[in-house]
Each structure stands twice: as C-alpha cells, then as structure tokens.
Amino acid sequence: MIRLHHVPWGRSFRVLWLLCEMGTPPDEIIRYRIGERAMREPGLMDVSPAGRIPALEIDGITIFESGAIVQYLCETRSDHGFGRGPGDVERVRFLEAIGFAETQASLIEQLNLNHLFLRPPAKPSPTVVKLNTLRLADTLRALEGMVAGETFLPSGFSGADAMLGFNLFAAPYYVRMDPYPRLRAYWAALQARPAFRQAAEIEGPQAFYARDFYEVPVDV
Ligand SMILES: N[C@@H](CCC(=O)N[C@@H](CS)C(=O)NCC(=O)O)C(=O)O
C-alpha cells in the first residue's frame, strides 16, 4: 500500500513521477491545496510534522522531504537503477543534484508566494521578487552547464531527474528560458518519458499559474 500526500504540481510531483517510473504509482493520493487548513491538521501533520508535502506512506513507514523520499525509493527499489550508491562514479553529482534541486525550488517557492499566494492588503515586494528571480536565473545558468543531455547524469535516468524536473516545470513562469537551450532540450526529453506522461495525466492540467509568465513587478 503506497499513499502519497500531495499538492498537484507541487514538489510531491517528483515522488508521483518517480513511482510511475518504477511501475508502482501510488495506490492512494491525498490531495491538498496550498494554504488550506487541512495542511495543518492531523492527517498530514501526522506524517509530515511541519505540514509540508510530499509525505509518503510506504513499506510500513512514513517519510517526508522529497529528496529523502527520492533517495529512499532509489535505494529500496535499486533494481530500477535510479540511484547512484556509494562507490558509484556518479554518486557525488547525484547527491549534489538532489540538494541543488531544493536550493532552486526554495527560490521558486518565494516567487510563488509573492506572485500567487499573497492576498490584499499584502503586496509582493518588488525587491524580493527581483532578487529571487535573479537568483533563480543563476541556478538555471549553473544547471545549463551541469546537465548531461536527455538525463542529468550521463549514464541515464536517475532520482536526480525526478528532483530537477519539477523545477523545470515551474521556473519558466518566472525566468525566460531562451538562454538555456540545453535545459529546454532536457526538459522536453523528460516530458516525453512515458512515466512522466502517466504522472501528468494523474495530475490533470496545472491550476497553479494563471498566466504564462510573471514579470518582476515595477517598484512604485
Ligand atoms: N524541502 C521540502 C519542501 C516541502 C515544501 O515546502 N512543500 C510545499 C509545497 S511544494 C508545501 O508543502 N508548502 C505548504 C506550506 O508552505 O504551508 C521537500 O522537498 O519536501
């Protein structure tokens, strides 16, 4: 029995997608919306003490933090070859990518907060948005130089791709991707994977972003 605590097109997409890659999509998906009360109530709080998604119930345990879940799944389902364990030549790059994906996602989260989730009278801070947009672009430039091709690591698909793929879904709403041709090709290749399509079909159309692109607001 695999139960995923999930916000559609949130970080838990990483876990949904990886489980699809493994041929074991969740038996049950409990869906939440950012900001809703249920994210701070027993249920999610029992399995993720800060009320964050993803959390996964699997193998008789519960586990939260997407990077930890991805590593756990790669290690416990090692026959798929999605992990890079101790001794593997790609181990260091794999671990870096798992952590770096969260460096990048935390910038996206700040931009989501400012652009999407603040309610009047709260207003987005143009300074914070500008800074985080520039910092997000820095991480994309770095990733452009790191990615091997159709997968992050030269030897093929890994948990690193599940971590980074979610970011490449979200980042283009805030940063123009024209300067990053390798990332655009990488993202297109990820989206073409049958398991990605399966996960995207489970999700349905994204309802997070109302516009195609969010400009940095002008300071008045
Ligand atoms: N580092 C954590 C971050 C989890 C996280 O912040 N998830 C967001 C959604 S993408 C969340 O649950 N937000 C709820 C909130 O901020 O109240 C992970 O990778 O799992």
Go through the domains of the chain in sequence order and give each one's CATH number. 3-80 (3.40.30.10), 91-193 (1.20.1050.10)
Instruction: Map tokens 């990077």 to a residue.
Output: 67
Asked if residue 39 has its Cβ within 6 Å of ligand 1, the reply is: yes
How many CB atoms neighbour CB 127 within 10 A? 11
**Average pLDDT, stretch 138-143?**
98
Please work out whether the CB of residue 69 comes within 6 Å of at least one atom of ligand 1: no
- Cα–Cα nearest to 150, from 133, 168, 127, 130: 168
Q: Which residue, chain included where needed, has tokens 């940063």?
A: 175
Percent of the chain with pLDDT over 90: 95
Q: CB–CB of 67/102 below 8 Å?
A: yes
Confidence at 220, pLDDT banded by 50, 70, 90: low
Identify whether 217 is preceded by a cis peptide bond (ω within 30 of 0): no
State what percent of residues in the chain have pLDDT above 70.
Answer: 100
Q: Which residue, among 1, 4, 15, has the nearest Cα to 56 in the 3D structure?
A: 4
Atom of ligand 1 nearest to the CA of 11: 10
Tally of CB atoms within 10 A around 210: 9
- Per-residue pLDDT band for 218 (boundaries 50, 70, 90) equals confident
Please compute the mean of the pLDDT values over residues 92-111 and round it to a whole number. 98
Distance CA 56, CA 64 (A): 6
Residue-wise pLDDT tens digits, 169-197: 999 999 999 999 999 999 999 999 999 99
Q: Is 129 in the pocket of ligand 1 (CB under 6 A)?
A: no
CA 82/CA 78 separation, integer angstroms:
7
Cis peptide before 42 (omega within 30 of 0): no
| pTM listed for this prediction | 0.97
Q: Please compute the mean of the pLDDT values over residues 2-17 and round it to a whole number.
A: 98
Lowest mean pLDDT among 115-124, 129-138, 159-168: 115-124
- The reply to whether ligand 1 has any atom less than 6 angstroms from the CB of 44 is no
Q: Is 149 helix (H, G, I), strand (E, B) or coil?
A: coil
Task: Give the model confidence (pLDDT) of 30-86 as tens digits.
Answer: 999 999 999 999 999 999 999 999 999 999 999 999 999 999 999 999 999 999 999
- DSSP label at 215? P
DSSP one-letter string for 109-127: HHHHIIIII--TT----HH
Average pLDDT value over all residues in the chain:
97
Q: Strand 61-64 to strand 55-58: parallel, antiparallel, or no bridges (unpaired)?
A: antiparallel
